[in-house]
Amino acid sequence: MKLGKIEEVALRHIWANEARDFTPWLAEQENLDYLGEILGLNLVEAEQEVSVGSFSADIHCKIENDNRTVIIENQIEDSNHDHLGKTIVYASGVDASVVIWIVKNARPEHVSAVEWLNEHTDSDIGFFLVEIHAIKIGESQPAPQFNIVTQPNEYMKSVKSSIDKELTRSQLGRYGFWSQMNTYMEETGIKLGIRKPSYDHWYDFKLGSSKYHLTVNLLDVEKKIRVALWISEGKDIFDKLYANKDAIELAYGSELEWDRKDLQKAAWVADYIPGFSYDNQSNWGELQAKAISKVLDFHRSLKPYL
């Protein structure tokens, strides 16, 4: 078999202008999803050229489900001091939780600067320095390639956080629950995408579209777990599913909660598992098995209509 050779393509041959070409391209949800997949973040609701004082941030977006603010600064050339300064101005101007600086080549002094920022800030903010390249094989179309140069050290952040202030009961509970659920999926060989455990109250499973995904949510106050299809945008998707409500619920095996959320962009179809608490871990194994079973049931019953 004849193998092709990977070649790098000049970025300016693809995106001649950073503001007019690269930023609009990255702001498209499909491309934002690709970047988010590399970084381990679910990035949504991109806005371009958002005013921050007398400056404009290239992209302002959010992390899905918790609405943390993200700033993306684009630079399809070597990193420089000017753009480093701008990222900090933008982050402070919108109280960003995540700052992503994308460059063609990261200079060593800027790598050190971003590493220093991550080491000397608390766990509420993280800085990513990412290189963008474009590659092709033979006569193929060029493909973008994001490479993380430096990123928040979550282990060090959690250690620092535990020194500065103890992790809350809910944070410890969430991390423990998701870690155990990962172990359950690995040991049972369930074919679902496993993600790193986190301190967030949700755990998402992709369904092949940026417009919707399956999610498991820990609702400690309500003493239950929610398993749902989360539709981040597209009321037409919800309406199509609702038109087949009876058939879906028959295939699923029980009634579901249908919430169109007319005043919001999102909508969901949900089911619940009672009996969850961070304080009582004796039934966590049973709850994790039920949650994954419901995820699989959702996938099976909704697939013909998505």
Q: What is the pLDDT of residues 174-198, one digit of tens each?
A: 889 999 999 999 999 888 888 888 8
CA distance 82 to 131: 17
pLDDT tens, residue by residue, 4-53: 788 889 999 999 998 899 999 999 988 998 898 888 788 888 888 877 76
Q: Where are the alpha helices (DSSP H) in the chain?
A: 11-14, 23-27, 29-39, 81-94, 108-120, 154-164, 169-188, 235-243, 245-252, 284-302
Six-digit token string for 38: 């590399």
Phi, psi of 137 (to 5 degrees): -120, 115
Interval 145-160 mean pLDDT: 69
pLDDT tens, residue by residue, 77-111: 999 998 898 888 888 877 888 999 999 999 999 99
Phi, psi of 125 (to 5 degrees): -140, 145
C-beta neighbour count of 2 within 10 angstroms: 4
CA distance 185 to 168: 26
The domains of the chain, with CATH numbers, are: 6-159 (3.40.1350.10), 167-305 (3.30.1460)
Res 74: pLDDT: 92
